[in-house]
Amino acid sequence: MNSQLKRSNGMRNLYKKKNWILIASVSFLFILLLILLLLYFSGVFSSSAPKPTEKKNQTKNTSAKRERQTGGTPANTDQTGGTPANTDQTFPTDISVGNGEKCSNNDDCDSGFCGQYVTDDYRCCSKINALGSFRDWCINLDTDEDCKNNIQCTSGWCSDGKCKDTLKSQEKCTSNYQCDDKKCGRNKAGTDDLVCCAGGMSAYAGYDYCTGRPKGTVCWADKHCTSGNCSGNWSGLKKGTCD
């Protein structure tokens, strides 16, 4: 009985000893790990000094940056202490362009306006307008400048992608905006040919006719004639002649 009790106590003491050894080992490893982490984050294992190649690259980058800031390669000085060959190292930083030149935003232009001449063709111009869209268009464009819409042109006429001069009196036209006086009508009764009217214009039976027509002109109504009388027209039921 005593021998069994002794054996049992011996085993218990052995277990306690093993447990203390295990606890001590784990504690030691934990403390060592903490020390290594502290050393790592404090920079002991990382060198702040650049490698020779890194230092060389840094010097090269610094030199290149200095060249860009001064506008070129630094002038070489004389071995004997002379002055640099080129001391003028100032260059303009704000460069803007004139009307008609390509641009990407208003700041690129002398005028402060960057808009489309034609679709997606952005250039500097004197004035811009959205023209009912979400993008700006150049307006007040002169003759022969590129365009997309009539309203862009000073003349009010854009044809075949170019601003056109308006037409003079009696020149053939197809629309009012093509004429100096913005009046394009039939010059006499019985014709479908349109010209820029010299005087006024009046509608008759759904068509526009030039007014102020001289004696002998075929007419529909009295108001078409300079004399104010379209003889023989039966009050507009047939063609007559200006007296």
Q: SS3 for 122?
A: strand
Helical (H) or strand (E) element with 194? strand 194-196
Task: Classify residue 230: in a domain, yes or no.
Answer: yes
Has residue 110 been placed in a domain? Answer: yes
Q: How many domains does the chain have?
A: 2
Structure tokens at 227: 């004399």
> Is residue 185 domain-shared with residue 159, that is, in the same domain?
no
For the beta carbon of residue 232, count every other beta carbon within 10 angstroms: 11
Distance of CA 37 to the CA centre of its chain: 54
What is the pLDDT, as a whole number, of residue 17? 66
Question: Does 188 lie in the same domain as 152?
Answer: no
pLDDT at 131: 84
pTM to 2 decimal places? 0.54
Phi, psi of 57 (to 5 degrees): -65, -40
Is 12 within the bounds of a domain? no
Determine how many CB atoms are found less than 10 A away from the CB of residue 165: 14
Task: Count the Cβ atoms, other than its own, within 10 Å of residue 130.
Answer: 10
- Write out the chain's pLDDT in tens, 243 residues: 555 555 555 666 666 666 777 787 878 888 888 888 777 776 554 444 444 444 444 444 444 444 444 444 444 434 444 444 443 433 344 668 999 999 999 999 999 999 999 999 999 999 999 887 778 999 999 999 999 999 999 999 999 999 999 999 999 999 999 999 999 999 999 999 999 999 899 999 999 999 999 999 999 999 999 999 999 999 888 999 999
Same domain, 183 and 159: no
Assess whether 181 and 123 both reside in one domain.
no
In a domain, 168, yes or no: no
Q: Which two tokens stand for residue 99?
A: 């009307």
Domain range enclosing 114: 106-163
What is the pLDDT at residue 8?
58
Report if residue 223 sits inside a domain.
yes
Two structure tokens written together for 226: 């300079």
Q: Is residue 188 part of a domain?
A: yes
**Together in a domain, 121 and 159:** yes
